[in-house]
Structure 1
Amino acid sequence: MKLYVYDHCPFCTRARLAFGLKKQPFDLAIIMEGDVETPTRLVGKKMVPILQKDDGTSMGESLDIVAYVDGLSGERLFAGKDEAVDAWAKDAWPLLLKLIIPRFTKGDFPELATPEAREAYRLREEKAFGDLEALMAGTPGFIAELGPKLEALASLLEGRTAVSLSDITLWPLLRSLSIVKGVSFPTPVFVYMKRLESEGGVPLLFDQAI
């Protein structure tokens, strides 16, 4: 099986994490930001992630891919949900976007390896989110607003060891947030991030924090 992704994309990270947690082998393929032909050939439109199955057919939509991978072997890991964790992710997502999107356009991601691809991505995100440099300038205020939210999340993750579908949606958000320099992650959150990094085989982004 081959999984087509953008490295920075949290929705793609969902699928990568599912493969890792299920210990299911796969080939990882990066789609360049400006590549319209590959995803269109596979699923009829420009989107990621895309899973090309062993039978040659392809499927999109991150949670559909997660469900497919979960059913390939062994006990299903991602059947249940944690409503409190899901509510936290939904509430925090708009604030996280203000922090992560401008940094994604500057990050060292293979899908942005050419100047043309990076500029295409920057323009796309600027159209969606407005002045990206203004968002960068607002970082101190955004981080201050995020602090209490992370403390609330810490109480939800304290001692957490089980894995559910909620982790498939939460952990990619925290991975994305690890590209933001200056964020202080409470210990239970940091321990959770590092545990699933190890178990899922998807690296966090601390090494390129901006």
Structure 2
Amino acid sequence: MKLFIYEHCPFCVRARMIFGLKDMSFEQAVIMEGDVETPTRMVGRKVVPILQKDDGSYMPESMDIVHYVDSLKAPRVADKPMVAAIEEWCKAAAGTIFKLAVPRFTRADFKELAQPEARRAYLQREEKAFGDLDALFADTPAMLSEVQQKLATLESLLEKHDGISTTDFILFPILRTLTIVKGIELGPNVSRYVERVANATGVDLLTDKAL
């Protein structure tokens, strides 16, 4: 199987996680930002991740990919509902986390941004979605303070959260996104969680790219 991704993309992280957890071999390929033709040829629109199955067919949608790969090898890990309190935390925190991360994504080194025209295409796409990215970057202190408060509430939610289940395919990609933010301070439970899931899935963090 072959998985087409962007390195920075949290939705792609979900698909990468399940392969690591299942210890299943797969080929990973990066689609360049601005490349509309390749994903459109595969699934009819510009989207990642995309899984090419062994039969040559293509599957989009991150959680569809997770459930498909999960079904190929026992035991299943993504077959239960999300933990409600953590789901609510994700909904409440994600907006500010992505406002912190996106200006940094546009400046960092990712394979999908290796070509100047790819970086320009990504910058234009995110400016359309988020507005002035330089202004967002300048607003880091206020947003960082808000996220730190939210992380403090996550500490207690993760105190007895072990194993890996459906919840973690939503939570971990959000926290992995946050590791590109220089100066972020993770509490002991959150820090242990991030390291534990990263090690279990083989998904790299973004601390070496932090800005």
**Does 1:11 pair with 2:8?**
no
Q: Give the AA of the match of 2:193.
A: Y
Q: Distance in 2 between matches of 1:9 and 1:48?
A: 8
Please state how far the C-alpha of 1:22 moved relative to its aligned partner: 1.5
1:92-103 matches, within 5 Å, as 92-103=93-104
In structure 2, give the amino acid aligned to 1:162.
G
Partners of 1:21 and 1:156 lie apart in 2 by 22
Query: For 1:142-190, what per-residue CA distance to the aligned partner results, in whole angstroms no more than 9, with x for missing partners?
Result: 0111111101111111242221111011100111100000111101101
Residues 159, 188 of structure 1: 8 Å contact kept = no
TM-superposed CA distance for 1:207, in Å, is 0.5
In structure 1, list runs of 5 or more residues that go unmatched: none
> How far, CA to CA, are the matches of 1:157 and 1:207 in structure 2?
25
In the alignment, which residue of structure 2 is the partner of 1:39? 39
Q: Distance in 1 between matches of 2:105 and 2:159?
A: 29
Q: Distance in 1 between matches of 2:164 and 2:85?
A: 14
1:188 aligns with 2:189: yes
Which residue pairs with 1:86 in the alignment? 87
CA shift for structure 1 position 75: 1.3
Identity value in percent: 55
Give the alignment of 1:82-161 within 5 angstroms: 82-161=83-162
Report if the CA contact (8 A) 1:8-1:104 is conserved: yes
| Alignment gaps of 5+ in structure 2 | none
Code of the residue aligned with 2:52 in structure 1: it is Q
Task: Give the aligned partner of residue 66 of structure 1.
Answer: 66
SS at match of 1:29: strand
Q: State the distance in 2 between where 1:153 and 1:24 align.
A: 31
1:44 is displaced (CA, Å) by: 1.1
* TM-score in terms of structure 2 length: 0.98
Alignment match, 1:168: 169
Q: Give, as a single letter, the amino acid of the residue that structure 2 aligns with 1:133.
A: D
Q: CA deviation at 1:24?
A: 1.6
CA distance in structure 2 between the aligned counterparts of 1:88 and 1:4, rounded to whole angstroms? 29
In the TM superposition, residue 119 of structure 1 has moved relative to its aligned partner by: 0.9
**Structure 2: how far apart are the matches of 1:41 and 1:79?**
31
CA distance in 2, matches of 1:69, 1:152: 32
> For the residues of structure 2 that align with 1:12 and 1:141, how far apart are their CA atoms?
28
Displacement after TM superposition at 1:36 (Å): 1.3
Deviation >6 Å, runs of 4+ = none
CA drift of 1:49 comes to: 0.3
Q: Summarize deviations over 1:178-207 as a string: whole Å, max 9, x none.
A: 000011110110111011111100100001
